[in-house]
Chains A and B, each alone.
Chain A
Amino acid sequence: MKKTKIIKNIIIDVDKCNGCRACEVICSSFHAMPKYSNNNPERSRIRVIHEPLRDVYVPIYAGEYAVAECAGRDKYIIDGKEYDECAFCRASCPSRDLFKEPDSGLPLKCDMCEGEDEPLCVKWCLAEALIYEEREVEIEEDEEAPDEIAIGLESLANKHGMEKVIDTIAQLSKTLKS
């Protein structure tokens, strides 16, 4: 049996971004407690990396939390324009100060403005650099999203062998209990 699922998509047109940071203002304001009681771009789940003199404008969304930085880094050159290291990465990662609560250091992640009709950063971006789109896709009924831990363990097992992983877990469980 097939069923459908909504994919929420934000299209980012960097050519249209004017660097105004309205998206940062509204995002941090929406997520303030209580709602709209303050704003602080530092807490925003979208940040605009912009360097006007080099014409670099990259609105970037907070994605997954990364415990450790990548083993290697990437650096893009597009149309002769050199972007910063990791410029397009969404991770809240120890290697950079993006997407962390300023006081607690806890990671931030875009939640597509849960509860709102449309993402507020999109609504506030009158430049139309951010466009929201919903797409329906068909998925297999039994294609349950696999458990995150399972994915992690599987990748560890592939890398180090199943036995090693089981041993380590057993050991860890002892140290953590005591």
Chain B
Amino acid sequence: MEIDLSRGNIEKVATDPRDTELYLGGLGTNAKILWDRVPPEVEPFSPENLLIFGAGLLCGTPATGCNRTIVSTISPQTKLLAFSMMGGFWAPELKYAGYDKVVLRGKSPELVYLWIHDDKVEIRDAAHLRGKGAIETAELIKAELNEPKAQVAAIGMAGENRVFYASVEQGRSSASRGGIGAVMGDKGLKAIVVRGTKDLNVAQPAEYMELCNEVLEYIKHREDNPIPGVMPILAGLGSPQEMKVHDEKWHTENFMWGNSRERKRDFWNDEVAKEWTETMEKARTRLISCFNCPMKCGATISMPGLPTYMMKCFTKLTYTMGAFSDLDFGLRIAQKATEYGVDGFSAPQVMAFALELLENGILTDEDFPEMPEDSEGRFFYLLDKIVRREGIGDILADGTHWAAERIGKGAAAYAHNNIKKTEQLPLKLSMLNPVYFLMYATGEKMNITQIEGQFPQAPFATKEEREAFVSDWIQVPDEKFKQYLLDWEFRGENSNPYYPTVQMSCDIVDWQETMHYIDDALGQCAGLSSFPLKPPYHIHNYPKFISAGAGIEMDEEKLKQAAKRYRTLVRALNTRRGMRRKDEKPPANHWKKRFPELEEELLDTYYKFKGWNKEGIPTIESLHELGLGYVSDDFIERGILVEGEEDFPQEVSAATEES
């Protein structure tokens, strides 16, 4: 469905089955639409920029955890493609209403919301919702429509004021990365409200149900058998169980505090544990799940004196650690931040960055009139300034990269934790890990958790543990991965950074990334698939799900090829917008021990493996192989590629192993 917000036009367009076959759905078809219709000259805040809410291909079917909405647009923060996923209940509802996507273009002169009720679609006035919180908005709209079962995706004040890291909030879930909430606000759209009461078909009912039941059985098996020898949060399924788990020793002692600066090695003790456990238990009313999923990764949080809200994942600690404070503060400010609708990774880092600039005299007290003295008070103060774009908040609302550029005076050195202009998890480590180097450098989802997952983060200490781990590792796409793990050691020849070898690293990264890209097209939550070790969904059962669910004939090779196709298209979109090798850099201080030569070799080999040239641009040949000849033509026309002058003639390369 297409909505032109400038004209108030609503148009229903049937999904092209040929595109579905080639790009599946969700991210894949979102990318295709953006390639076709948003040329690189289009600015994020232009009426020509599209904002696409895409339900994944299998969303709403009985496949457990298949509920993702993939929101794609051109990001104000990176000026590249943003694609952020949200769980919850929105995408299935859209499917029950009979749609795969909502494609928004133009700009509404007045603030409006979109109301989709099966065949009836309306653009409604939202003037009375201006400045309202995202959760508050959802409740108000459901009440005024008298539709308690409607699902609402809304922005808060941050989105309205185009904060570059504004999120789209949807009850227990949000699409937070890349500032898509800002694009929504720029379009004058406060919310999209959906209610669907139609049937959702699958192609081969009996086969499909059998697959779904197998997945459920496997989930039970994994719940009963957590993986031994890894950290508790890596042992089970689901998104990291931050709402359930009280022991935060690992995060608080290994992740950085403040502006991703300080590691507190002996932070976690009995006293802190007791206090934080109490805080959480008092605040948490219930653990809650997304649509059709038993994993309960979220929670309802009620802090005394504050409205109830819902939370998931690591936002639990980002504010706490950013402000050098405690969990009580973290949960209180997250309530406001959720209503305002900001990204829980970026926002606290931006605030900590601002305070560092003040401490170092780059900003002065005059920039922060009437700011409280205490760290907690300062964070609340800054959050308010940012979402209103008031005073210094107007600059900080652009994120650390652009704020540093506007401030000048050496501020850039303090925006030190970015990749492609996006704030990363606050992690600073010692020894370079070749697999993670590649993932950080080349990922276009701007977040490590959106690439990693299938291969353990660290070797197992003993041979027995390794053998036990690989003994029921059915998810590997190829037996060789078992050997990679069996031979991986903490020390000596077979250890980081030279082991896994460059070649192995390419294989491992490619596998992990491919699984995430498949999830993002199908609408499957990474928490049951690409993110945890040994998940119920993998390359061997996915083709069957697609065949039986969507009626597209599929096998492993064809699926890998499809994922490679739209993954390459994502890269092509970004290439066309100027992304090059120089942009593919983890933060300089991410690891203490760096190996420039090895890193260059890793990039060279990985690019080649992917069918990209030395600049990270997909080559003419690989584009044609993937049926992306139109991309190749466009690149040649724009002078991005020159025929006959590609960096890599496709000699025998690692890629041959792959396809």
Contacts and interface: CB of A to CB of B under 8 A. Distances in A.
Contact of B209 (A18, A19, A20, A29): A29
B288 A19 contact: yes
B202 interface: yes
B294 A26 contact: no
A37 B201 contact: yes
B202 A40 contact: no
A64 interface: no
Interface stretch (B192-200, B394-402, B461-469, B595-603): B192-200
Contacts of B336: none
B289 interface: yes
Nearest to B294: A126
A18 B285 CA distance: 11
A40 B199 contact: yes
B220 interface: yes
Contacts of B208: 36
A111 interface: no
Given A22-B292, A127-B294, A55 B199 contact: no
B206 A52 contact: no
B85 interface: no
B172 A52 contact: yes
Contact of B62 (A29, A43, A52): A29
Interface string B205-230: 11011000000100110010000000
B585 interface: no
Contacts of B220: 126
Given A39-B61, A40-B96, A52-B172, A34 B294 contact: no
A34 to B, nearest CB: 6
A42 B198 CA distance: 8
Contacts of B32: none
Nearest to A28: B199
A20 B200 contact: no
Interface string B84-104: 000001000000100000000
A25 interface: yes
A40 B195 CA distance: 12
A37 B209 CA distance: 9
A39 B288 CA distance: 22
Nearest to A102: B197
A55 B301 CA distance: 10
A20 B66 CA distance: 12
B308 interface: yes
A18 B202 contact: no
Contacts of A125: 294
Contact of A18 (B216, B286, B309): B286
Q: Which of A29, A32, A54 has the most CB of B within 10 A?
A: A29
B202 A124 contact: no
Interface string A90-133: 00000000000010000000000000000000001111000000
Contact of B202 (A26, A38, A51): A38
Interface string A9-49: 00000000011111001100100101111111111000000
A55 B300 contact: yes
Contacts of A34: 205
Nearest to B219: A126
B310 interface: yes
B358 to A, nearest CB: 37
Nearest to A47: B149
A18 B300 CA distance: 10
A36 B210 CA distance: 10
Nearest to B135: A53
Given A20-B291, A21-B291, A26-B62, A55 B285 contact: yes
Interface residues of B, number: 41
A63 B298 CA distance: 32
Contacts of B139: 53
A65 interface: no
Contact of B216 (A20, A51, A124): A124
Interface residues of A, number: 30
Contacts of A88: none
A52 B285 CA distance: 9
B197 A52 contact: no
A120 to B, nearest CB: 10
Contacts of B308: 52-55
Contacts of B417: none
A127 B216 CA distance: 12
Contacts of A25: 62, 292
B171 A40 contact: no
B363 interface: no
Interface string B53-64: 000000011101
Contacts of B289: 18-20, 127
B482 interface: no
B214 to A, nearest CB: 13
Interface in B118-159: 135, 139, 148
Contact of B199 (A19, A38, A53, A57): A38
Contacts of A38: 199-202
A20 B199 contact: no
A154 B465 CA distance: 73
A115 to B, nearest CB: 14
B201 A18 contact: no
Given A22-B64, A52-B172, A53-B139, A40 B198 contact: yes
Contacts of A21: 89, 291-292
A18 B287 CA distance: 6
B293 interface: yes
Interface string A50-74: 0111110100000000000000000
B140 to A, nearest CB: 12
A37 B199 CA distance: 9
B296 interface: yes
A115 B30 CA distance: 43
Contact of A40 (B197, B216, B290): B197
Contact of B310 (A36, A52, A54, A57): A52
Contact of A41 (B96, B148, B285): B96
A127 to B, nearest CB: 6
Contacts of B206: 35-36
Contacts of A124: 216
A20 B292 contact: yes
Contacts of B216: 124, 126
Contact of B205 (A37, A41, A53): A37
Contacts of B200: 38-40
A51 B148 CA distance: 9
Query: Which of B96, B205, B285, B296 gathers most chain A CB within 10 Å?
Result: B205
Nearest to A124: B216
B171 A52 contact: yes
Ranked nearest first, the 8 interchain pairs of A and B with the lowest CB-CB distance are A36-B205, A126-B294, A20-B289, A38-B199, A42-B197, A18-B289, A37-B205, A36-B209
Given A20-B292, A39-B200, A53-B300, 13 more contacts: A18-B294, A22-B293, A29-B209, A32-B199, A37-B202, A40-B198, A40-B199, A40-B200, A52-B171, A52-B172, A54-B308, A126-B220, A127-B296
Interface of A: 18-22, 25-26, 29, 32, 34-43, 51-55, 57, 102, 124-127
12 contacts: A20-B289, A20-B294, A36-B202, A36-B205, A37-B202, A40-B200, A42-B197, A51-B148, A52-B300, A54-B308, A102-B198, A126-B294
